[in-house]
Amino acid sequence: MPYIYSKVCKLLTKEEFSNNAKLGKVLTRKCTKCGHHHLVTTYFCQNCGNKGFENTIVDGKGFIVTYTIITVPPDGYEEYVPYAWVVMQLDDSELRISGFMANIKSPTDLPLGTRARITGYDQRGIIIEKQ
């Protein structure tokens, strides 16, 4: 029974995560001891080691800290080229989150520090756009 419960919880968490991303939000796990935010796959706090968490939702806005431009895509992503896989620092937490950003052809299209926001979630993962 615990295995089935674990599978159901993981499915619900993934669905909750994707539904929040579609609304421009990020579902996080906030440590009940020190308040450090984590992504939903965390089992203990990386800051203090605590195992107690509460689900919280933070705004999906921030700025680009790094990225890579994809011009030779993996199978199934040919229609999206060129695009960038970006890492964004969220404004409302210490979290960084990665996602897909369309129509990025060169570094001049996306200077580091560019303001961005989460706008969706689909088969590509989290969708991030410039603000």
**For the structural domain made of 2-130, what CATH number should be given?**
2.40.50.840
Query: Looking at residue 46, what is its pLDDT?
Result: 92
pLDDT (tens place) for every residue of the chain, 131 residues total: 444 434 434 445 788 889 999 999 999 989 999 999 998 777 889 999 999 999 999 999 999 999 999 999 999 999 999 999 999 999 988 899 999 999 999 999 999 999 999 999 999 999 999 99
Query: Looking at residue 39, what is its pLDDT?
Result: 86
Query: Looking at residue 69, what is its pLDDT?
Result: 97
Query: Looking at residue 4, what is its pLDDT?
Result: 42
Full DSSP string of the chain: -HHHHHHHHHHHHHHHHHHHHHTTEEEEEEETTT--EEETT-SS-TTT----EEEEEEE-EEEEEEEEEESSPPTT-GGG-SEEEEEEEETTSS-EEEEEEES--SGGGS-TT-EEEEEEEETTEEEEEE-
Query: Looking at residue 34, what is its pLDDT?
Result: 95
Domain ranges of the chain: 2-130
